[in-house]
Structure formats: structure tokens, C-alpha cells
Structure 1
């Protein structure tokens, strides 16, 4: 997986996602990079190690109505993504119904999350992508959802950076998003979860205040020590 190949849909996404510990570290690194690079009206990537009792959350929102949430729970991991322009959105039908197959085989341990207010509108899950992995699973799973040929579920752009999982993919994203050059070696430092030094912070964002960045990253679960 690299920055030039996005997962076409949830079925491809679940074949390229890494094991849970690696995914968690990847999410924490993205949140730390978001804190370093500077937030434009809010975080793009974030991580909340105390989202709920025993639950950690990786979050992405692009500010245009598209988002994902990945919950690391005592029972495993539950992920949902929402592409607001996809025909698979519940807003495209009068009943506000989920796309067929999206959650049909979701394990019972995750079903309460379908009514989580943070993910719902009028008690309906806002999602075009759903995937999960119970603690006993040896692979990521998704429901038997059929993706429309003339549209998609949004996986490609929602999970592009996370699925690629490389510093190079993040640099490709960040240079377009922040419209400035981004130092690859400094990004590699953060991806490795090494301590955020003043030199690394200033290399990535000369306007940043290192102590404030370190504090923000720590709140997002980034380790104080590598």
C-alpha cells in the first residue's frame, strides 16, 4: 500500500489495515502530526484516549461533512466512515435507512454503537463505511455490502492516509492540505512515536510553540517517551 493506491472500498480496506496495535500507533502519530502542523479551525486527525469507559477513539474530520471514527474497545475495534456525497449515505433515501449489508453481520458486542448519539442523526447511524475486528478475530471484517458501480462508499479518500500508513503518504497529504513543504525525516520521527523535540516541531512548523504542541500531543495519547 502506498500513497498512490487508495483502497477502492471497505472490502479492500480490511485487507490492508494492520493489526490493532500498529493501527493504534498509526492513529496516535497522525494526531500528533496534526497538533504539530497547526489546526485550521479544528483538528483533522485526532485521538482521544478517554473517549468512553475503557474506550479510545481515533477521529478524522475534514470540515466538509466527511469523517471517520475508530473505537478501540475492550471487545475489539469498531470503525465507521461517512462520505456525505456518497449515494450510500442514509440521507439519500426518505427512510434514512442504512445501505443494505452495511451492518448486517456486525457482532452483538458492537451493536450498541449503532445508536451512539455521536454517530447518529435521528437515531440512524451516519455511515457509508463500517468495519470491525473482535479480539478473537485474526482479520478485519465488514458486512456483505455491495458497492454501487457508479459511486463508492468514500473509503478511498476517507482512509487514504491511514491505510497507506507511511510517512510518505502523510507528506503527500499534508503538502496539499497545508500548502507548504513538509519535511519527510521529521514526519518519520513522529511516525516512529519518538519524543517530540523542539527541533522536530520547528522543522515541521516554525510558528509552533513546542511546549504547547507536546502537551496537546500527550493529551491525544502520544507517548512522552519513545
Structure 2
């Protein structure tokens, strides 16, 4: 798994690829974990007018929210045990420089804007991700970004390892790859991944995620 953090964002996918990846992760979680409240990843293709939102919540107080619109992507995260989490004076600084097109993400109550340890953004036509020029405390992962962002390396094996650890399930790497590549999901694919999957519910999940069946 490639390390992705605010110190090195070169392995974080560009905007359109990140959006597709978060859709894939949400679709996989919907198959592997029928109970929505226990899922790690989710995606709402109709979050707002012209907006889509991908998120991660690990149930232990850590999360990230990625807001996609016509301009690009805004992503903010919170890792509750990192050094920055205990430095509230840095919170407002992390939002400095956020383009006006993403200001809604900074104030969105559902994103818990007061809980932030890192914040990124990227316009669709930009060559790289950007973030505020904030001096972070010393340490291996002071803002928790490596912990929360490294799973977004685009490698299907990363999800296979995650499912084994988090859901205690072995998933077929070929099927995970197919969903990473956004191949249409079929009932047989879903049942191969999880024999207990409910196809009717998954069709509703796919509609919310905007994943093709």
C-alpha cells in the first residue's frame, strides 16, 4: 500500500479517479456489509445540486468527507488520536486558502467542520492537490492523513486486505478489481462476494452511489 499523506500526495488519485474509487469502495462495502451503520465507506451521488459526496467513518471517531462539484474536489479529514487533534488552534488555519467554490464544505454541519486534522482540495484542471501552508508538529503522521488516506491508493489488493481485517471476510480479488474498474455489477457478482447479500437492497444502494448495474 502506497503511503499517501499531506507530506506526499503524489499517489492520491486525481479528482475524477478519486470519485470513481470512492464509488467503488462504497459499492463494495454495501455488498460486504448489508447493515449501513457498520459500513466504512459510503457515497451519495445526489448530495446537493451538482454535488456528490464520498465519506469514510471507521466507528472509532475518525472520518473523512470528499465533496465533488463542477470545480473539483474538497476533502477534509479527522483522526482523533493524532497530534493535530489536540491542537485546536490549528483548526481554522487548515481551511486557509480553500477556494470559494469549496466554501460549502468548510461550513457543512454534516462534515463536523470543527473536527479537522487535515484539509485538501484540487480543481479538475489542476496538476496537483493543494492544502494550507500550516507548520505541523513533528512526528510520523502528525495530522492522521497517512492513516486515513493511504487506503485510497487505487490498488484492489488494499481493499482485500482491509475487508479481511475490518469485516473478517475474504473477498475475491478478481471481483474487487472488476468493481474498481467500474464494470457493471450483477447479482451473481454480488453473491460471490457475499452469499448473504440482498440484491434488492443492493440495487437501491447502487442507485444512491450511481454505480452501474
TM-score under structure 2 length normalisation: 0.90
RMSD: 1.9
Q: Give the Cα separation in 1 of the matches to 2:84 and 2:206.
A: 34
Question: 39, 49, 52: which is aligned to 1:43?
Answer: 39
TM-score under structure 1 length normalisation: 0.85
Q: Give the Cα separation in 1 of the matches to 2:106 and 2:92.
A: 15
Q: Report the CA distance between 1:101 and its aligned residue.
A: 4.4
Q: Report the CA distance between 1:108 and its aligned residue.
A: 2.9
Asked whether the 8 Å contact 1:68–1:79 carries over to 2, the reply is: yes
Q: Report the CA distance between 1:158 and its aligned residue.
A: 1.1
Are 2:24 and 1:29 aligned? yes
Asked whether the 8 Å contact 1:98–1:125 carries over to 2, the reply is: no
Q: Give the Cα separation in 1 of the matches to 2:149 and 2:172.
A: 22
Gaps of 5+ in 2: none
| 1:104-123 superposed matches below 5 A | 104-120=96-112
Q: Give the Cα separation in 1 of the matches to 2:104 and 2:205.
A: 30
- More helix as a share of residues: 2
Asked whether the 8 Å contact 1:81–1:130 carries over to 2, the reply is: yes
Q: Give the Cα separation in 1 of the matches to 2:71 and 2:34.
A: 32
Asked whether the 8 Å contact 2:3–2:11 carries over to 1, the reply is: no
C-alpha distance after superposition, 1:55-114 (max 9, x if no partner) = 10011100111000000012221000110112212xx35xx4334742222223323432
Instruction: Tell me how many residue pairs correspond in the alignment.
Output: 211
C-alpha distance after superposition, 1:19-58 (max 9, x if no partner) = 2221111111001001110145332101101111211001
Instruction: Quote the residue 1:73 is aligned against.
Output: 69
Q: Give the Cα separation in 1 of the matches to 2:72 and 2:89.
A: 26
The DSSP-based 3-state class of the residue aligned with 1:69 is strand
Q: Report the CA distance between 1:137 and its aligned residue.
A: 2.0
Question: 7, 10, 21: which is aligned to 1:11?
Answer: 7
Q: Give the Cα separation in 2 of the matches to 1:135 and 1:197.
A: 31
Instruction: Quote the residue 1:183 is aligned against.
Output: 172
The DSSP-based 3-state class of the residue aligned with 1:64 is coil
The DSSP-based 3-state class of the residue aligned with 2:95 is coil
Instruction: Quote the residue 1:103 is aligned against.
Output: 95
